[in-house]
Chain A
Amino acid sequence: MSGSTTLGPVHQAYLLQARQMQALSFMVHIPLVAFGIAFPVMVLFAEWLHMRTGDPLYRVLAKRWSKVMVALFAVGVITGTILSFEMGLLWPNFTATFGSVFGLGFAIEGFSFFVEAIFIGIYVYGWDRLSPRAHFASGIPVVIAGFTGSLMVVAVNAWMNHPSGFRLVGGHAVDVHPLSALFANTYLWHELVHMYIAAYIVTGFLVAGAYAVGRMRGRWGRYERTALLIPLSIAALASPVQILVGDWAARDVATTQPIKLAALEGLGQTQSGAPVHILGWYTDDQVKYGIPIPKALSLLAFHDPNATVKGLDSVPASRRPPVNVVRVAFQTMVGIGTAIALLGVWFLVVRVRRRRLPESAWFYRAVALAGPLSVVAMIAGWVTTEVGRQPWVVYGVMLTSQAVTGAHGIPVAYGTLALIYAGVAIGVAWVLRRLARAPLDLPPADRTVAASAGD
């Protein structure tokens, strides 16, 4: 299968460091991207409330959020730039061989970024300088571009996981059909929907979490209640839905990438009526110390309790991903996903039955925790997808070891990037604290009152 490639073979002693550098770059970019996708919607909703009700509180809210939005957008832009550089810095042979197949996705994405950057500029610097209607309208392209941008990147990733639209002849891609490679790919749709919802969960819980922490410290008035309600409602609705979509994703993986599914579940041998194991550790071709649920895997993956599921033994050891990395990541995602879905349902039930916000302090502690946890779930999900695809960079076509650069000094680059990213993280944390502390510009009636008198 994996024959020659466009630039020919190289020896790279630091493949592992290159992979880690790629992983680090993604882990920094992806949470920011979540904000790029979901936050504009929340900001615009607050502004729409202001237009509809004439209530200045919503305007204050939208304006304050938009400052956070633009700061995070700036960091999203630069971390994304690093990723695009890494396509050549780390994986030149991947780009040289397949750029003509998948590159179109990024080229179109470039225009999304243009639209997003232009209108975020107009929106954020246009408060007080545009008519209310024009200002609101200038935010809409930001929302659309956030969607199309992630559509394009995810299309590329889906192609890497389920490649089509070309033939490889003597290491060169021929018969290339970029449109069908990117968009006629069945693998795209679950990834897109799952990622998009993840963005809403992450943004919703992180923003709500900030106000939940504020409530514990006694900052709780009409402003804070509104600022909590909007993101929390979104996250609470999205998190149960995510379980259904995740189940869909797993069924797609089962049919297109059986080895990844086997790694997710630690299934050593091909068998019918395969079980699911909760927790445990994969050694000696099986899961030890886990809680087995007989036939569950066959049922979940193929809707038939006796279906045959391929095991890791169906490919040679050199073609298997690192099982425990993938499996622990997957279980982490599913565990967190289940927990935050329960939290969401708690909120929905109280809200629908009692027509108010939950009052238990435990609820707010859980919301504060749900933000960071959902970031962990999202990263764990990408680890599942990407490490689960290893050793392939293009599934079944090109090995990651064939894609890598022949340049020296990867560990130095990796160390430098890690250092710089630590600095970026400190800078972002610092500016967010500063923005949160800026005094609220509200009429006295809406100012903070003590938590007990709040509701």
Chain B
Amino acid sequence: MTSSIFLATQGFGLNLNLFETNVLNLAVVIFGLYKFLPNFLGGILERRRSGILADLKDAEDRLNEATNSLAKAREELASAEQKASKIRSDCKVRAEAIRLESEKRTVEEMARVKQGAASDLNAEAARVSNELRKEAAKLAIEKALAKLPSKLDDSAQSKFLSQSINNMGKD
């Protein structure tokens, strides 16, 4: 016992005794691990890796999809904006047209009203002058009737009658 300890304290070195170092059994164990561990662990790791890759691909797909729909929405927004601006400009044009139209109509209406007033005035003047004429004629007839009895006698009447008869004969 003492001698073996004494021998063992000689210093660092290599021990190449196959049995003492248990190298053969270790080799078997390590070989077994090398044979079976990659199968066991490798399966787990490969599943993990494919899961991660699938997740990544999924996320990328969703990103693509989102990007596409964003672009589509942007396009739609642009077209809607275009439509809105078109509608706005159309409205402006229409408003301008309506304004012009109503202005024109107003002017026409004013002209018509003016003309109507003028024609009313003319008609009134005509009516008034007619009335005056009738009045004048009436007055003249009344005057003549008033004068008539004093001027009309038998001779004059007969003269008048014969004159009328003569006149009838000429006709």
Chains A and B form a bound pair: no
Which B residues form the contact surface with A (CB < 8 A)? none
